[in-house]
Structure 1
């Protein structure tokens, strides 16, 4: 089940993505600690907010209740992460809060969602850190300077 394209994208302003730690840390009697990577795939959680019209709110609530079984089912939803705005596999961690009336025509909802897996660039990009760090400059140059057809 996909997030309905008729609904607005979630807002994340001021909210941080929380990643479940992939580490296992053991404290030693000497005061030092040992740690190792316990998992290679861990979920993330993020608090999202939506501002919707009355008709969008009706669609959101029926989709939440029946489409994703009151938030229990995994589904695809556009979310902004460090890689940009892309569709991620997510599920709600609990029922949403709201609707809160913010104007006569607009309602606000908020909810925490769990992103199935922390998304990063492939490990091969470690060989080219200058391209990752300067990717916005390259993108700007290509889109501004590239000859038009």
Structure 2
């Protein structure tokens, strides 16, 4: 079941998190039972599990003020789920997220910017839809297909 939210990250006023140091950590959907023989039984316990994302922002002073106010008022101090554009291996897309705890910061960087770091919980792991592995060439060579299509096909 897909999660939705009517709260949006103020992307028109605040930048997306920095790509440097951005990382995704999926929560395991597996249940593993170790036997005394040394073997183990492993099975999928859940089909949909969250992913945690380590994020960092650099904000100007005004952006910092807006971010902290949005976190406090708009998200009820980080309790609420919200929609946010994030870059994953699937590309830039909107994901339903929430903060796992309050952010760290602000930390003054270079005498001009304020750095905030946090861990976000994405409702779903960013993976291709079921059935996508039937056409691995289209996945692995998507950039070649995109380049050829844009270079060779006329504009409409």
TM-score, normalising length from structure 1?
A: 0.95
Q: Equivalent residue for 2:97?
A: 90
Higher helix share: 1
Structure 1 residue 120, shift from structure 2 partner: 1.4
How many residue pairs end up in the alignment?
149
Question: For 1:31-89, what per-residue CA distance to the aligned partner results, in whole angstroms no more than 9, with x for missing partners?
Answer: 11001000000000011011111111110000000101111110001111121111100
RMSD over aligned Cα, in angstroms? 1.1
Structure 1 residue 119, shift from structure 2 partner: 2.2
Cα distance in 2, alignment partners of residues 93 and 12 from structure 1: 20
Q: Equivalent residue for 2:142?
A: 135
Of residues 103, 109, 127 in structure 2, which corresponds to 1:102?
109
The DSSP-based 3-state class of the residue aligned with 2:23 is: coil
Q: Equivalent residue for 1:119?
A: 126
Question: For 1:80-131, what per-residue CA distance to the aligned partner results, in whole angstroms no more than 9, with x for missing partners?
Answer: 1121111100000111111111133321111110001112111221110111
Runs of 4+ with >4 A deviation = none
- Whether the aligned pair in 2 keeps the contact of 1:12 and 1:47 (CA below 8 Å) is no
Gaps in structure 2 of 5+ consecutive residues? 1-6
Q: Equivalent residue for 2:31?
A: 24
Q: Equivalent residue for 1:2?
A: 8
Gaps in structure 1 of 5+ consecutive residues? none
Cα distance in 1, alignment partners of residues 116 and 143 from structure 2: 33
Q: Which moved more, 1:11-20 or 1:132-141?
A: 11-20
Cα distance in 1, alignment partners of residues 138 and 82 from structure 2: 33
The DSSP-based 3-state class of the residue aligned with 1:121 is: coil
- Whether the aligned pair in 2 keeps the contact of 1:20 and 1:42 (CA below 8 Å) is yes
Question: For 1:124-147, what per-residue CA distance to the aligned partner results, in whole angstroms no more than 9, with x for missing partners?
Answer: 211101111100111111122221
